[in-house]
Amino acid sequence: DAGVIQSPRHEVTEMGQEVTLRCKPISGHNSLFWYRQTMMRGLELLIYFNNNVPIDDSGMPEDRFSAKMPNASFSTLKIQPSEPRDSAVYFCASSFSGDGNQPQHFGDGTRLSIL
Amino acid sequence: AQTVTQSQPEMSVQEAETVTLSCTYDTSESDYYLFWYKQPPSRQMILVIRQEAYKQQNATENRFSVNFQKAAKSFSLKISDSQLGDAAMYFCAYRVTSGTYKYIFGTGTRLKVLA
Protein backbone atom coordinates (compact mmCIF):
# COMPACT_ATOMS: atom_id res chain seq x y z
CA ASP A 1 0.00 0.00 0.00
CA ALA A 2 1.18 3.49 -0.78
CA GLY A 3 2.09 5.59 2.20
CA VAL A 4 1.78 9.33 2.58
CA ILE A 5 3.27 10.93 -0.51
CA GLN A 6 4.90 14.32 -0.36
CA SER A 7 6.37 16.39 -3.14
CA PRO A 8 8.83 17.74 -3.84
CA ARG A 9 11.41 15.93 -1.73
CA HIS A 10 13.76 18.87 -1.90
CA GLU A 11 13.10 22.49 -2.74
CA VAL A 12 15.64 25.26 -3.05
CA THR A 13 14.43 28.73 -3.89
CA GLU A 14 15.25 32.36 -3.35
CA MET A 15 13.64 34.44 -0.69
CA GLY A 16 10.50 36.19 -1.76
CA GLN A 17 9.39 33.36 -4.00
CA GLU A 18 6.19 31.42 -3.48
CA VAL A 19 6.65 27.83 -2.31
CA THR A 20 3.99 25.13 -2.53
CA LEU A 21 4.38 21.81 -0.77
CA ARG A 22 2.07 18.94 -1.65
CA CYS A 23 0.74 15.95 0.20
CA LYS A 24 -1.35 12.95 -0.69
CA PRO A 25 -2.58 11.15 2.45
CA ILE A 26 -3.18 7.45 2.76
CA SER A 27 -6.48 6.45 1.21
CA GLY A 28 -9.17 6.11 3.89
CA HIS A 29 -7.45 8.40 6.36
CA ASN A 30 -9.55 11.39 7.39
CA SER A 31 -7.07 13.43 9.40
CA LEU A 32 -4.11 15.25 7.91
CA PHE A 33 -1.32 17.09 9.71
CA TRP A 34 1.41 19.46 8.59
CA TYR A 35 4.57 19.67 10.72
CA ARG A 36 7.76 21.66 10.51
CA GLN A 37 11.02 20.27 11.89
CA THR A 38 14.11 22.34 12.70
CA MET A 39 17.09 21.75 14.94
CA MET A 40 16.16 24.69 17.13
CA ARG A 41 12.43 24.09 17.56
CA GLY A 42 12.06 20.35 16.98
CA LEU A 43 8.84 19.04 15.50
CA GLU A 44 6.11 21.67 15.41
CA LEU A 45 2.50 21.09 14.41
CA LEU A 46 1.45 23.79 11.98
CA ILE A 47 -2.13 22.81 11.14
CA TYR A 48 -4.35 19.80 11.00
CA PHE A 49 -7.48 18.90 9.09
CA ASN A 50 -10.25 16.49 9.89
CA ASN A 51 -12.55 15.45 7.05
CA ASN A 52 -10.96 18.18 4.91
CA VAL A 53 -11.83 20.92 7.41
CA PRO A 54 -9.06 22.83 9.20
CA ILE A 55 -9.48 22.13 12.91
CA ASP A 56 -6.52 23.91 14.46
CA ASP A 57 -4.17 26.29 12.66
CA SER A 58 -2.74 27.87 15.78
CA GLY A 59 0.69 26.56 14.88
CA MET A 60 0.86 28.42 11.58
CA PRO A 61 3.65 30.93 12.20
CA GLU A 62 2.22 33.88 10.31
CA ASP A 63 0.01 34.99 7.46
CA ARG A 64 2.64 34.07 4.92
CA PHE A 65 1.69 30.44 5.56
CA SER A 66 -1.54 28.95 4.28
CA ALA A 67 -2.83 25.41 3.91
CA LYS A 68 -5.68 23.90 1.97
CA MET A 69 -7.31 20.53 1.64
CA PRO A 70 -9.68 20.69 -1.32
CA ASN A 71 -10.49 16.99 -1.15
CA ALA A 72 -9.73 13.89 0.88
CA SER A 73 -6.72 12.94 -1.24
CA PHE A 74 -4.76 16.16 -1.51
CA SER A 75 -3.43 18.99 0.60
CA THR A 76 -1.06 21.90 0.02
CA LEU A 77 1.02 24.08 2.29
CA LYS A 78 1.95 27.39 0.73
CA ILE A 79 4.47 29.99 1.84
CA GLN A 80 4.27 33.38 0.17
CA PRO A 81 6.61 35.21 0.29
CA SER A 82 9.24 32.81 1.56
CA GLU A 83 12.04 33.87 3.92
CA PRO A 84 15.35 32.19 4.89
CA ARG A 85 13.97 31.41 8.37
CA ASP A 86 11.36 29.18 6.74
CA SER A 87 14.12 26.72 5.84
CA ALA A 88 13.21 23.41 7.48
CA VAL A 89 11.91 19.93 6.79
CA TYR A 90 8.15 19.93 6.36
CA PHE A 91 6.27 16.73 7.08
CA CYS A 92 2.77 15.71 6.20
CA ALA A 93 1.11 12.94 8.19
CA SER A 94 -2.28 11.27 8.02
CA SER A 95 -4.35 9.04 10.27
CA PHE A 96 -7.81 7.69 10.76
CA SER A 97 -9.34 9.70 13.58
CA GLY A 98 -12.12 7.23 14.28
CA ASP A 99 -9.71 5.03 16.21
CA GLY A 100 -7.29 6.78 18.52
CA ASN A 101 -5.06 3.72 18.53
CA GLN A 102 -4.28 4.32 14.89
CA PRO A 103 -0.98 6.12 14.62
CA GLN A 104 -0.05 8.95 12.36
CA HIS A 105 1.74 7.87 9.22
CA PHE A 106 4.33 10.31 7.98
CA GLY A 107 5.52 11.15 4.52
CA ASP A 108 9.22 11.37 3.75
CA GLY A 109 9.17 15.14 4.20
CA THR A 110 10.18 18.06 2.03
CA ARG A 111 13.51 19.68 2.78
CA LEU A 112 13.02 23.37 2.04
CA SER A 113 15.95 25.73 1.67
CA ILE A 114 15.30 29.42 1.20
CA LEU A 115 18.38 31.32 0.03
CA ALA B 1 -2.41 21.52 28.58
CA GLN B 2 -0.71 18.27 27.79
CA THR B 3 3.06 18.19 27.59
CA VAL B 4 5.61 15.52 26.71
CA THR B 5 9.15 15.64 28.07
CA GLN B 6 12.17 13.70 26.91
CA SER B 7 14.96 14.65 29.28
CA GLN B 8 17.79 12.86 27.49
CA PRO B 9 18.92 14.78 24.40
CA GLU B 10 21.41 12.04 23.55
CA MET B 11 22.14 8.47 24.60
CA SER B 12 24.76 5.93 23.59
CA VAL B 13 24.64 2.15 23.75
CA GLN B 14 27.06 -0.58 22.83
CA GLU B 15 25.94 -2.92 20.10
CA ALA B 16 24.04 -5.93 21.51
CA GLU B 17 23.42 -4.12 24.81
CA THR B 18 20.16 -2.75 26.19
CA VAL B 19 19.21 0.90 26.45
CA THR B 20 16.22 2.70 27.93
CA LEU B 21 14.93 6.04 26.66
CA SER B 22 12.78 8.02 29.04
CA CYS B 23 9.58 9.95 28.41
CA THR B 24 7.25 11.64 30.83
CA TYR B 25 4.03 13.45 30.12
CA ASP B 26 1.54 15.61 31.86
CA THR B 27 -2.19 15.29 31.36
CA SER B 28 -5.46 15.42 33.23
CA GLU B 29 -7.03 12.91 30.88
CA SER B 30 -7.63 9.35 32.00
CA ASP B 31 -7.67 7.73 28.60
CA TYR B 32 -5.12 8.41 25.89
CA TYR B 33 -2.57 6.81 23.61
CA LEU B 34 1.19 6.92 23.64
CA PHE B 35 3.58 6.27 20.79
CA TRP B 36 7.29 6.02 20.11
CA TYR B 37 8.54 7.07 16.69
CA LYS B 38 11.99 6.55 15.23
CA GLN B 39 13.61 8.98 12.80
CA PRO B 40 16.79 7.61 11.18
CA PRO B 41 19.14 9.83 9.14
CA SER B 42 16.93 9.19 6.12
CA ARG B 43 14.46 11.44 8.06
CA GLN B 44 11.49 9.11 7.75
CA MET B 45 9.27 9.00 10.84
CA ILE B 46 8.65 5.36 11.63
CA LEU B 47 6.25 4.08 14.26
CA VAL B 48 8.08 1.83 16.72
CA ILE B 49 5.46 0.97 19.31
CA ARG B 50 2.14 2.16 20.77
CA GLN B 51 0.43 1.88 24.14
CA GLU B 52 -3.17 2.45 25.16
CA ALA B 53 -3.46 4.04 28.58
CA TYR B 54 -6.29 1.80 29.73
CA LYS B 55 -4.16 -1.30 29.16
CA GLN B 56 -1.93 -2.17 32.07
CA GLN B 57 0.14 -4.62 30.09
CA ASN B 58 3.26 -3.10 28.59
CA ALA B 59 3.42 -3.18 24.80
CA THR B 60 6.16 -5.18 23.10
CA GLU B 61 7.34 -5.29 19.50
CA ASN B 62 10.23 -7.67 18.98
CA ARG B 63 13.30 -6.04 20.58
CA PHE B 64 11.32 -2.96 21.59
CA SER B 65 9.25 -2.78 24.74
CA VAL B 66 7.82 -0.07 26.94
CA ASN B 67 7.61 0.46 30.66
CA PHE B 68 4.32 2.27 31.10
CA GLN B 69 3.75 3.69 34.57
CA LYS B 70 0.41 5.48 34.41
CA ALA B 71 0.45 6.89 37.93
CA ALA B 72 3.92 8.30 37.40
CA LYS B 73 3.01 9.43 33.85
CA SER B 74 6.07 7.72 32.51
CA PHE B 75 6.47 5.88 29.20
CA SER B 76 10.02 4.66 28.65
CA LEU B 77 11.26 2.69 25.66
CA LYS B 78 13.61 -0.24 26.11
CA ILE B 79 15.65 -1.48 23.18
CA SER B 80 17.21 -4.88 23.70
CA ASP B 81 20.10 -6.35 21.72
CA SER B 82 20.81 -2.95 20.15
CA GLN B 83 21.80 -2.95 16.51
CA LEU B 84 23.61 -0.39 14.41
CA GLY B 85 20.36 0.22 12.54
CA ASP B 86 18.73 1.42 15.74
CA ALA B 87 20.77 4.61 15.62
CA ALA B 88 18.23 7.41 15.15
CA MET B 89 16.24 10.15 16.83
CA TYR B 90 13.44 8.75 18.96
CA PHE B 91 10.31 10.77 19.64
CA CYS B 92 7.69 10.09 22.26
CA ALA B 93 4.14 11.22 21.39
CA TYR B 94 0.83 11.54 23.21
CA ARG B 95 -2.69 11.64 21.87
CA VAL B 96 -6.03 12.03 23.61
CA THR B 97 -8.81 9.61 22.73
CA SER B 98 -11.36 12.11 21.54
CA GLY B 99 -11.98 15.73 20.71
CA THR B 100 -8.76 17.11 19.38
CA TYR B 101 -6.99 14.80 16.99
CA LYS B 102 -3.56 16.19 17.38
CA TYR B 103 -0.49 14.59 18.82
CA ILE B 104 1.94 16.16 21.25
CA PHE B 105 5.55 15.21 20.51
CA GLY B 106 8.57 15.36 22.78
CA THR B 107 11.82 17.00 21.71
CA GLY B 108 13.48 13.71 20.90
CA THR B 109 16.45 11.63 22.06
CA ARG B 110 19.32 10.93 19.71
CA LEU B 111 20.51 7.35 20.12
CA LYS B 112 24.01 6.39 19.07
CA VAL B 113 24.93 2.73 18.74
CA LEU B 114 28.61 1.94 19.19
CA ALA B 115 30.17 -0.99 17.37
Residues of A in contact with B45 (CB under 8 A): 91, 93, 106
Residues B36-62 have a mean pLDDT of 91
A29-84: pLDDT as tens digits: 999 999 999 988 888 999 999 999 998 898 998 899 999 999 999 999 999 999 99
What's at A19, amino acid-wise? V
Compute how many other C-beta atoms are within 10 angstroms of the C-beta atom of residue B34. 23
- Neighbouring residues of A73: CB distance < 8 A, sequence distance ≥ 6: A24, A25, A27
Out of B33, B44, B91, whose CB is closest to A100?
B33
What's at A77, amino acid-wise? L
Q: Decide if B103 and A97 are in contact by the 8 Å CB cutoff.
A: no
Q: Is the pLDDT of residue A105 over 80?
A: yes
